[in-house]
Amino acid sequence: MITKFNRNSVNVNNNNSSNERSSARVSILAVIALMLVSLFSASCGGGTSAINMDEAAPKEGTGAAAAEGDKGVSGSYYNVTSAATYVEGLDYLFKLNTDGCGNYEFVLVVTNYSGGPKQLCYNNGQRYDFAIERNGQLLYNWAYGRFFNFATFTDTLQHGEKREFREFWNGRGNNGHPIPAGMAKASVKHTKSPVVSLSADGYLDGKYI
């Protein structure tokens, strides 16, 4: 018996095999492309990122707590100047930070190291004020144009407990104009009774928002 081969059948099978191989190659290329897109997104900061602004920290007055991170909306901050003092069992730390892009951050940390509870008595709703001066002239202060209630308030700090206050500043003066680059005095007043003040000189780069 002579067996005849069906060339059409062979061609169809070959075509099917070629199509299957092509489909497999397309699938592999698609997977590789997805992996590359994922890697690129991750390298550019895509996906869910951690918020480094201490947004969940408790609020004190109108300032946000938790100054330790030295982070802000623009990224990493570095210190411009700082000052510290110790008054009646309370340790004070004041810092002015900047990101070098016109964002500034005032920080005040008050810690009770007296060995017992300490009462902070305020005559109204204001807890603090941050300021910038140059050559004896007040250029900026945080409380400018703000209104505070007249109710007295007492805050009790246990030993080892602290209060942290933070405010962001855009590099402009009370008149709305940018403060030129140069040396300036940064200061803070903790407006409890009696008031405690700290100040330190630092260089402002003249950048603003």
Helical spans, DSSP H, in the chain: 7-43
Tell whether 164 and 114 lie within a shared domain.
yes
The 10 Å CB-count burial string (b at 16+, else e) for 131-164 is bbbbeeeebbbbbeeeeeeeeeeebebeeeebbb
The CA–CA distances, whole Å, from 130 to 1, 62, 139 equal 106, 12, 11
Q: Is residue 92 part of a domain?
A: yes
The residues near 24 (Cβ < 8 Å, ≥ 6 apart) are none
Tell whether 70 and 42 lie within a shared domain.
no
Tell whether 41 and 69 lie within a shared domain.
no
Tell whether 27 and 66 lie within a shared domain.
no
Tell whether 133 and 71 lie within a shared domain.
yes
Tell whether 101 and 142 lie within a shared domain.
yes
Q: Is residue 54 part of a domain?
A: no
**Number of neighbours of residue 9 by Cβ within 10 angstroms:** 9
- Domain of 73: which CATH number? 2.60.40.2360
Asked if residue 72 lies in contact with residue 78, where contact means CB atoms within 8 angstroms, the answer is no
Domain boundary among 49, 71, 88: 49
| Number of domains, the chain | 2
Tell whether 98 and 149 lie within a shared domain.
yes
pLDDT of residue 203: 97
pLDDT in single tens digits along all 209 residues of the chain = 444 444 444 444 444 445 555 555 645 655 565 555 444 343 333 332 332 333 333 333 333 333 333 444 445 999 999 999 999 999 999 999 999 999 999 999 999 999 999 999 999 999 999 999 999 999 999 999 999 999 999 999 999 999 999 999 999 999 999 999 999 999 999 999 999 999 999 999 999 99
Domain that holds residue 177: 59-204
pLDDT of residue 30: 56
Q: Is residue 209 part of a domain?
A: no
Tell whether 139 and 115 lie within a shared domain.
yes
The residues near 54 (Cβ < 8 Å, ≥ 6 apart) are 64, 65, 66, 69, 71
Tokens of 188: 């803070």
Closest CA to 164 of 94, 100, 102: 94
Tell whether 103 and 13 lie within a shared domain.
no
Tell whether 42 and 94 lie within a shared domain.
no
pLDDT of residue 75: 59
Amino acid at 136: G
Tokens of 68: 């330790």
The residues near 182 (Cβ < 8 Å, ≥ 6 apart) are 134, 203, 204, 206
Q: Is residue 64 part of a domain?
A: yes
Tell whether 69 and 172 lie within a shared domain.
yes
pTM exceeds 0.85: no
Tell whether 4 and 101 lie within a shared domain.
no
Q: How far apart are CA 38 and CA 131, in angstroms?
A: 46
